[in-house]
Amino acid sequence: MKVGSIELPSPFVVAPMAGMTDTGFRRLVKRHGGCGLVVTEMVSSEGLVRGIDRTLEYAEYTEEERPVSIQIFGGDPVKMADAARIVQDMGADIVDINMGCPVPKIAKHNAGCSLMREPDHAARVVEAMVGAVTIPVTVKMRAGWTDKDRNAPVLARKVQDAGASAITIHGRTAEQSYSGFADWELVRQIASDLQIPVFGSGDCVEPEQVVERMNSGVGGVLVGRGVLRNPWILAQAADLVAGRTPRAVSMQERGQFLLDYIDLLLDQREHEQQGFRHVAPGASQLSSPASGHQRWVINKLRALCAWYSKGLDSGSHLRVAVNSAESVSQLRHLIEDFFMTAPAAV
């Protein structure tokens, strides 16, 4: 599977998820296998252009994550083209445009899914970016803004004509947010209409569903919440495709994932060697850890465990315990207690 000039080792992708798919999480998922591409959390084009540290941090990635796509949001073609250049200078393999975010904070600035309400303008954004960079430009959109206006087929064609190398459709409208179900028939139709690869997104929480969607005629499948519940889901889907029984994951391995995640979050900005991470040229170096770094790590674990616990027996106990942890060492102990003393087989 190729997106423009970029060869993906697998058609299964870690979907962009703001607040969740940071570099540490992406690295761990990638290490478990089956993953063809990771996409960063959405990053503000405005913040990139202005060189805001927090924004640049969201765009950071490490070499072991390649191929990597940096997703940006914004509505101004000139700024989006400038931001695409910055993304290219950071060494990313792909730059992705967010045309799916329904959150008013984003959508009211003519960005995210509100771009779907102005298809000609959306196409100009794509055109400007394609003219500014040599890396592939891709688009992630929804089915439409409302149920009465499911214009993804029209927009997808315009975006293709504007030079996009691939498209992802999350088959819900902005109005639906995350309610109801993703319309995979719509995704399949668009995939058969276009010449460029079309990826589908929505509601794959079991490896069998990932494979079933893949076989429905799309170019690839993005998995979001399913990866947060089960970071092995892409590897298990790859097992199925290869005719193998999907790998079993023990409670100990699940616990180790969280412990490794804590270590990577603690290391972030602290011990990683210079040059290991790809930061934008001119960005001020993020030096000493921010005060409250441990608090940040605890909050990241709370956010992940809200999803991770859904994939586990007695998951609610884990969630409650993690929410009450006051220090990283407490967090480690309760993870060890919950997972490491469990029976080995799952």
Ligand X SMILES: Cc1cc2nc3c(=O)[nH]c(=O)nc-3n(C[C@H](O)[C@H](O)[C@H](O)COP(=O)(O)O)c2cc1C
Angstrom distance (rounded) from CA 312 to CA 298 = 20
Catalytic residue among 101, 113, 204, 305: 101
**Count of residues near ligand X by CB under 6 A:** 21
The answer to whether 16 contacts ligand X (rule: CB under 6 A) is yes
Applying the rule CB under 6 A, the residues between 280 and 319 that interact with ligand X are: none
Angstrom distance (rounded) from CA 263 to CA 18 = 20
Applying the rule CB under 6 A, the residues between 81 and 140 that interact with ligand X are: 98, 100-101, 140
The CB-based long-range contact list for 149-153 (8 Å cut-off, 24+ gap) reads 149/117, 149/173, 150/186, 151/116, 151/119, 152/116, 152/186, 152/190, 153/186, 153/189, 153/190, 153/193
Tell me the closest approach of the beta carbon of residue 40 to ligand X, in angstroms. 8
Tell me the closest approach of the beta carbon of residue 213 to ligand X, in angstroms. 10
Tell me the closest approach of the beta carbon of residue 300 to ligand X, in angstroms. 13
The answer to whether 204 contacts ligand X (rule: CB under 6 A) is yes
The answer to whether 210 contacts ligand X (rule: CB under 6 A) is no
Q: DSSP assignment of 312-325, as one string?
A: STTHHHHHHHHHH-
Query: Please, which residue, 158 or 170, has the CB nearer to ligand X?
Result: 170
Binding ligand X (rule: CB under 6 A), the pick from 45, 69, 114, 201 is 201
Give the residue nearest to ligand X (CB): 224
Angstrom distance (rounded) from CA 156 to CA 151 = 8
The answer to whether 219 contacts ligand X (rule: CB under 6 A) is no
Tell me the closest approach of the beta carbon of residue 303 to ligand X, in angstroms. 8
Kindly indicate which of the ranges 158-166, 197-205, 283-291, 294-302 contains the residues binding ligand X, using the contact rule CB under 6 A: 197-205
Query: Please, which residue, 188 or 338, has the CB nearer to ligand X?
Result: 188
- The terminus-to-terminus CA distance of the chain in angstroms comes to 33
Binding ligand X (rule: CB under 6 A), the pick from 170, 213, 269, 278 is 170
Q: Which residues are registered as beta bridge partners of 277?
A: 62
Tell me the closest approach of the beta carbon of residue 218 to ligand X, in angstroms. 13
The answer to whether 41 contacts ligand X (rule: CB under 6 A) is yes
3 phi/psi in degrees, rounded to 5: -115, 105
To the query of whether residue 101 is one of the catalytic residues in this protein, the response is yes
The CB-based long-range contact list for 263-266 (8 Å cut-off, 24+ gap) reads 264/23, 264/24, 264/27, 264/28, 265/22, 265/24, 265/296, 265/297, 265/300, 265/301, 266/293, 266/294, 266/297, 266/328
Applying the rule CB under 6 A, the residues between 176 and 195 that interact with ligand X are: none
Applying CB under 6 A, the residues found at the interface with ligand X are 15-18, 20, 41-42, 71, 98, 100-101, 140, 170, 201-204, 223-226
Residues designated as active site: 101
